[in-house]
A and B are shown apart, each in its own frame.
Chain A
């Protein structure tokens, strides 16, 4: 084929060259016509934009509905513009018998507390697993890793009884402490600590620094990105926990947002604007967090399989 002529449209050649430059050979391999490339790029964007809209538009629709009045939702269910635009749904929630803003606070406190517990316990433990030689290390590590594959349902009933015996039912401890015992955090940080250069620690050790000092003054500062990622992932996981809080939280004022939202659905099942206002309140904090830390969250998920 002789289609090595300069493409007429600049955009497709850009995207194409990125793919072919890897080989860096002067001899051009047979390529499709630039026209076909342009069509392909357009098709590619069309599909990606379609999927993006399929994700964004439902969320936009929820936001719109939350600013409608109950009457508007019934009389004009598919109206794109709220008529009148109203915060009625939000004020109904604020004044209703279900304390959604208290749930918001509860969710925030629980997610923060569990994140703190995980950061402290997992980083300390991961340091031992990554940097210290000790008796029983293989067994301890093997048991921790083994539980990564155990489905959570196994712990459901016995942990309920354990939490009950500790007197923790209907308290913040029930929704923070058992969940902090998972193996993910310690496994995640161990991987990161192993990748840190050992020279600085060796030098500090020669200077007489103990393990606690090496840990707090060298390893932790070097691990800020990993600790931040773990913090975000832990916060999200706790914020979004659903099954466990349904059963261990009993009083309405102790609920977190996820089980609370499910109750709201029961109370206002046909009052869509009110339920959607609840969904917006529950989503905005995590979407803001995602907006800030999008890159870290996505990168940490992306690397989970490739490195592991």
Chain B
């Protein structure tokens, strides 16, 4: 039974992932695989057809279509579109153009939010995951409670925190007042408080998500490593730096990448809590792009903006990947 499992799996895996032993062990395999491939191609595409139809129309087509829009003077009020090359992109990089100031302000706001929120969204959940990893009683209950806000939509999160953070009748200012602290903090209507609010709300909303993933990563670390470190006389802090963090690196790469992307795509929190204010200072790139493209009918420049944002995110992801990769080696 055991060998047959290996063979079956081997024929099913793409050749590059086939175990070396299985590949060299059976000389006949390549030909068998090839005839097998010929036999299943029609069936396979029938199975894939419904998904590929949707995928083509709503994923592949729009990514090409969007790129095309961004090099035209597309407008919903005109019947024809003209190819204008990189003009939309050039405008976005030309100081003084209509969109330059607002677009880069929104990119800056996105950058500020990402820089402020990502460390909080990594460190606090990691701390909680480490606490939960102590085999304590009620661990699953705590885990469920911490995760719960994540299932609520951003609109729910937004309206309830709009109330909790209200300057006059919000509970947070009331509690601060009871503790003898300033009780008139303009949480959502003035900077820098608006940034603090957006970060607090985002942490409250999503900390459980990251904590759950990091906890799974902690559980996957070989306990022998901790035991060995103990025998070498390592204390708690030493073990954290030399066992926990290195063992967590692949999971941390995943969590940090998704968290950076989520933060850079922030929309709902600003939309509801601060309405992008004061004076557009918390208007994120996604807010500005969607407003320009879908409310102001400025579709071509908005499409160009979305590709510029994409380029930034791609570069940041690659840098993040490289940095964390290098540490491993």
Q: Residues of A with Cβ closer than 8 Å to B? A: 15, 18-19, 22-23, 25, 29-30, 41, 44-45, 47-48, 51-52, 54-56, 58-59, 61-62, 65, 73, 77-78, 117, 120-122, 124-125, 127-138, 140-141, 143-144, 147, 149-162, 177-178, 180-183, 186, 194, 197-199, 202, 211, 215, 236, 239-243, 246-247, 257-259, 261-262, 264-265, 272, 275-276, 278-279, 282-283, 286-287, 289-290, 294-295, 297-298, 301-306, 308
Given contacts A29-B230, A261-B159, contact A272 B146 (CB under 8 A): no
Contact with A along B13-43 (1 / 0, CB 8 A): 0100000000000000000010011101101
| A15 close to B136 (CB less than 8 A) | yes
| A155 close to B63 (CB less than 8 A) | yes
- Interface residue B135 (Cβ < 8 Å from any Cβ of A): yes
| Interface-centre pick from A243, A264, A308 (highest chain B CB count, 10 A) | A243
| B307 close to A154 (CB less than 8 A) | yes
Given contacts A131-B12, A132-B43, A151-B261, contact A265 B52 (CB under 8 A): no
| A134 close to B132 (CB less than 8 A) | no
| B146 close to A51 (CB less than 8 A) | yes
Partner of B66, one of A128, A155, A278: A155
Which chain B residues border A140 with CB–CB below 8 Å?
48, 52
- Interface residue B153 (Cβ < 8 Å from any Cβ of A): yes
| A161 close to B65 (CB less than 8 A) | yes
Partner of B265, one of A120, A153, A283: A153
Contact with A along B130-146 (1 / 0, CB 8 A): 01101111001011111
| A211 close to B47 (CB less than 8 A) | yes
Contact with A along B38-68 (1 / 0, CB 8 A): 1011011101101110110111111101100
| A154 close to B310 (CB less than 8 A) | yes
Assembled-state Cα–Cα distance A302/B50 (Å): 30
Given contacts A198-B5, A262-B272, contact A158 B63 (CB under 8 A): yes
Which chain A residues border B217 with CB–CB below 8 Å?
305-306
Assembled-state Cα–Cα distance A138/B16 (Å): 10
| A151 close to B309 (CB less than 8 A) | yes
| Chain B interface bracket (under 10, 10 to 19, 20 to 34, 35 or more) | 35 or more
Given contacts A135-B41, A153-B306, contact A180 B54 (CB under 8 A): yes
| Interface-centre pick from A62, A141, A199, A302 (highest chain B CB count, 10 A) | A302
The 3 closest A-B pairs by CB, nearest first: A240-B153, A158-B62, A125-B51
A67 nearest CB across to chain B (Å): 14
Which chain A residues border B223 with CB–CB below 8 Å?
22-23
| B313 close to A124 (CB less than 8 A) | no
Add 11 more A-B contacts to A51-B146, A132-B40, A295-B140 (CB < 8 A). A15-B136, A41-B136, A48-B132, A62-B163, A151-B261, A155-B59, A243-B268, A265-B159, A272-B166, A297-B151, A306-B251
A153 nearest CB across to chain B (Å): 5
Which chain A residues border B45 with CB–CB below 8 Å?
128, 134
- Interface residue B215 (Cβ < 8 Å from any Cβ of A): yes
| B154 close to A242 (CB less than 8 A) | yes
| A137 close to B5 (CB less than 8 A) | no
| A181 close to B148 (CB less than 8 A) | no
Q: Please name the residue on chain B nearest to A117 by beta carbon.
A: B54
Partner of B135, one of A18, A54, A160, A294: A18
A137 nearest CB across to chain B (Å): 7
| A128 close to B44 (CB less than 8 A) | yes
Which chain B residues border A162 with CB–CB below 8 Å?
57-58, 61-62, 65
In chain B between 258 and 316, which residues have their CB closer than 8 angstroms to a CB of chain A?
A: 261, 264-265, 267-268, 271-272, 285-286, 289-290, 293-295, 299, 302-303, 306-307, 309-310, 313
- Interface residue B167 (Cβ < 8 Å from any Cβ of A): no
| B216 close to A303 (CB less than 8 A) | yes
Partner of B143, one of A45, A282, A298: A298
Which chain A residues border B50 with CB–CB below 8 Å?
120-121, 124-125
Which chain B residues border A283 with CB–CB below 8 Å?
152, 156
- Interface residue B9 (Cβ < 8 Å from any Cβ of A): yes
| B160 close to A276 (CB less than 8 A) | yes
Assembled-state Cα–Cα distance A306/B201 (Å): 27
